[in-house]
């Protein structure tokens, strides 16, 4: 929406950061997007894990982002995060543990997890 411009993905930067070839990054991203698109088309429940950030859950028409606690602590500072939670306990609904099986956090109990 609006006048936002999309920036092309910088495969070379990602490849350098991950210490792999540019081609491997391209194949990995394109394969993941293709599989994700296929699963969405088939109506599958999905958990897209964003390493060190959190999990994007897609179930039917319901989309929910849950963040790892350590990510939120790094983002805002541990003390600020603890103050925020004490004032607004509902913030904990946005948090997911890296240890909990993702399927247990879904309505259906079934989920395809990306990446494998």
pLDDT confidence of residue 22: 94
Output the furthest CA–CA distance in the chain (Å, rounded). 47
At residue 1 the predicted structure's pLDDT band, cuts being 50, 70 and 90, is low
- Per domain, the residue ranges of the chain are 11-114
Give yes or no for residue 116 having a pLDDT over 60. no
At residue 108 the predicted structure's pLDDT band, cuts being 50, 70 and 90, is low
């Amino acid at each position: 929406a609006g006048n936002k411009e999309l920036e092309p993905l910088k495969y070379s930067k990602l490849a350098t950061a991950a210490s792999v070839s540019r081609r491997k990054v391209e194949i990995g991203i394109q394969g993941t997007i293709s599989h994700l698109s296929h699963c969405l088309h088939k109506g599958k429940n999905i958990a897209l894990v964003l390493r060190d950030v959190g999990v994007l859950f897609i179930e039917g028409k319901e989309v929910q982002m849950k963040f790892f606690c350590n990510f939120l602590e790094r983002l805002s500072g541990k003390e600020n995060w603890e103050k925020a939670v004490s004032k607004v306990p509902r913030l904990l609904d946005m948090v997911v543990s890296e240890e909990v099986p993702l399927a247990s956090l879904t309505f259906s109990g079934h989920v395809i997890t990306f990446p494998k």
